[in-house]
Amino acid sequence: MTPKEECEVLMNELLPVASTFLNKNGEFYPFGSVLKIDGQVEQVAFYDGDEFPKSEDVIKNLINVFHQRALNSEIKASGIIWDAKVVCPDNTKSDAIAISLEHIDDYCVTVFFPYKKTILKRIKWKPLFASEGDRNIFE
């Protein structure tokens, strides 16, 4: 598989879980997945004892854990997913599920899945878009 395809494996693991939390609870804390060197996917959440952590802190902690695992040659790809506010390509503001995907072989992208909550608290998806991601794990 290509680096993009391996990252898509992680995205396809993360997105349904986040969608379920979003539909059920209206929100979710950031979490992630890694693709280990042996090709196995491992879901990862971070809990430091704080019942209501800031999402930014959870993301930073996930980055640190994934970076250390990359330094130890344990993983070849990572994905972190969170609930975000974005400006879409049509210049409208939207809530979105954001997924940062990074691969050891120099592939890095952030994919955004904009959505709107309907009156019945259902999720209405808008067209997805992507941008070049920040390399934090495999520096």
Report DSSP state, residue 136: -
Per-residue model confidence as pLDDT tens digits over 123-135 = 899 999 999 998 9
Per-residue model confidence as pLDDT tens digits over 27-78 = 899 999 999 999 999 998 877 777 788 999 999 999 999 999 999 999 999 9
Q: For residue 106, give the nearest of 36, 12, 15, 7 by alpha carbon.
A: 7
The pTM score is 0.93
Domain ranges of the chain: 3-132
Reduced to 3 states, what is the DSSP secondary structure of residue 17? helix
CA angle 89, 92, 94 (to 5 degrees): 100
Per-residue model confidence as pLDDT tens digits over 71-127 = 999 999 999 999 999 999 999 999 999 999 999 999 999 999 999 988 877 889 999
